[in-house]
Chain A
């Protein structure tokens, strides 16, 4: 650490009153100025503004600075801004550091004197860091220009098509045998009432036929290693027990299969066979055998499908296959599920047959659904004459389920009520609501259409739903009149809350942070809505939060454009804050090799062949610093996070 003393300038940002309202800026400047080794301390209203950045650049040139501390907001916001600014006037960007005195000081401290004191200390720690910061050069690494889209609902399909159309190969992965996601289950879409499948299936077919898209259906992520631009992904291709190269999707086997089970695509409202196609328009149009329900697998006898398949496609000895793919970036489009009705105890625990959720009603309305588009109720197939729709079933309900608004339910309930009235003209549709939220193009008009077409809206929450004879009794309150209401309905549709569909295991493999409800967290809620803090992972659709179809599609194109932007270059700059080795004192004990999660360290002989030392493979190093903490002799040192640096930072924070 005997390097020449840096000429450091400190710039303290007021951020309007965001910082200056709590931190006495003049006092901070005075205290930092008292440190004789600081060349210049200047404050500015908004350092990130053009005049602010120009002030920094001018000062650097006038005072010949080679180190800069900007005391302002979190580095996640403007570290890049200021590093770019200083490098434009010849200062190495890695010699510019941010002292976070807004998010971690002014915004969280009540007392002004204490905030001023804390801000000063934070700045002093960062000054120490800059004093030891080395000038670093970005490490250039090649990018594998292939993308993987995880989840093949409408969001995933859109992202895959956009990336593929830009000329890059895409692997479109889904856990189900067919692409399509929830949108393929919907009847019609709000507010235009166009048929969901009619607009989706052409896109599904386009994805299948696109020369740049490879469908990986009935597949799951096993593991992901590597880093932005250079991932290795192991994918488990689940055993289908059918050779898809031979299968033509003729469905003869389905007709012969004697075993029935609940049809997931119809949300359990009808039955499917043990060998099945997800739905008639499935893409790829192929069948799989559901091992858990197959008589041959469970009881050792049957094999009717094998006997009747004209193409010899049934393959009982099929096994899961793990295949590794090299990928440069991911679009995560894992989508949503509906909250399990069992959680809603006062609405019948999910046990009442004629109390269904929104997706089940979509299937009932669907022309390819369990009743071929006729509105019938699940228990006895009768046409319901009175249908009650309950909005916010598990949404906006912090005590019992989810605190958030699921956003799409107001509109899909209006749509379902309209469609019901179209199919059952004499039928009564009653909607219980807390508020009607129609924030969207054509939404308010659509809601008006529902009321105009005779749907009765009652403002109030439903307290209890139970069975009486073959009727479903709904107890609620009309909060506008203050009266209790009892409705005797034939069918109840719960607009249950949307929840994230991603499993805990998959979320952990993806390393994308999730909020308290399980939705993936974007890099910045306003300005980086499709990026994540995990480099190389972009978000599309409802995996990030409740969304309707156009919003999901728009976000998918946004995520795709990020991937395309990344792929326009065949190299990538890798953060140079990597580990280093002091060859003089490295004893070659290799402790650091064991702790490195990236296999970025290896043992080599020194040039004079005198001893074995550890060498860092810089492109593999992600800069966690685990090696530096583990090295028993202090030979492993993370660049710009050296022991001496952190020791001085600690001291400065305590002075």
Chain B
């Protein structure tokens, strides 16, 4: 298979990665809101798309995001046992690792897909996670998919 990922040496200077974040309404989006209320700052690259539950996130959406130009995809859900919908996050927990394996096949670094459990009170974790993830994607450079 042809290597379709840009090497880090080719990263332009002012590169700003594009990141899509699928976050659940009850925990991670509420945590993101708290980060706002607490006036924490983090890189603006992630565009949040709030869904009711992380289990709504069809793995296809993640592939669409990569196909449409995302350099990274972040998924945020409630901690295990804290799901507003009983066990939605366990479904996410099972789906994402399977998708990661598939990403390898598509020559997308699996680390471009990040899943984290962030509760409504974990504003600091949200800030740190998004900051770290954005920095990491910056280092990886743009994802140039040849589809």
Contact = CB atoms under 8 A, between A and B. Distances in A.
Interface of A: 74-76, 100, 102-105, 107-111, 114-115, 117-118, 121-122, 125, 508, 511, 513-516, 521, 533-534, 577, 595, 597, 622-626, 628-630, 638, 641, 643, 646-647, 649-651, 653-654
A624 B56 contact: yes
Contacts of B40: 108
Contacts of B60: 643
Interface stretch (B2-10, B26-34, B103-111): B26-34
Given A595-B91, A650-B68, A108 B36 contact: yes
Contacts of B44: 105, 108-109, 111, 114-115, 117-118
Contact of A624 (B32, B35, B53): B53
A168 to B, nearest CB: 26
Interface of B: 16, 18, 20, 26-27, 29-30, 32-37, 39-42, 44, 47-53, 55-61, 64-65, 68-70, 81-88, 91, 95, 119-122, 127
Contact of B52 (A114, A122, A577): A577
A470 B103 CA distance: 70
A654 B36 contact: no
A372 to B, nearest CB: 45
A647 B61 CA distance: 7
A650 B120 contact: no
B41 A109 contact: yes
Contacts of A649: 49
Given A108-B42, A516-B121, A597 B58 contact: no
A622 B85 contact: yes
Interface of A is mostly: helix
Given A122-B48, A628-B58, A653-B47, A511 B82 contact: yes
B99 to A, nearest CB: 12
Chain A CB count within 10 A is highest, among B39, B55, B60, for B55
Nearest to B37: A103
8 contacts: A108-B44, A121-B47, A513-B30, A534-B84, A625-B51, A641-B51, A646-B58, A650-B49
Contact of B87 (A74, A111, A515, A597): A597
A74 B70 contact: no
A513 B85 contact: no
A625 B52 contact: yes
A114 B70 CA distance: 17
Nearest 4 Cβ contacts at the A-B interface: A103-B36, A625-B56, A624-B85, A653-B47
Nearest to B36: A103
A629 B33 contact: no
B141 to A, nearest CB: 16
A357 to B, nearest CB: 27
Contacts of B29: 104
B37 A629 contact: no
A623 B86 CA distance: 12
A597 B85 contact: yes
A521 B40 CA distance: 20
Contacts of B26: 513, 533
Given A109-B44, A521-B121, A104 B32 contact: yes
Nearest to A643: B58
A293 B11 CA distance: 71
Given A626-B55, A647-B64, A649-B49, A103 B84 contact: no
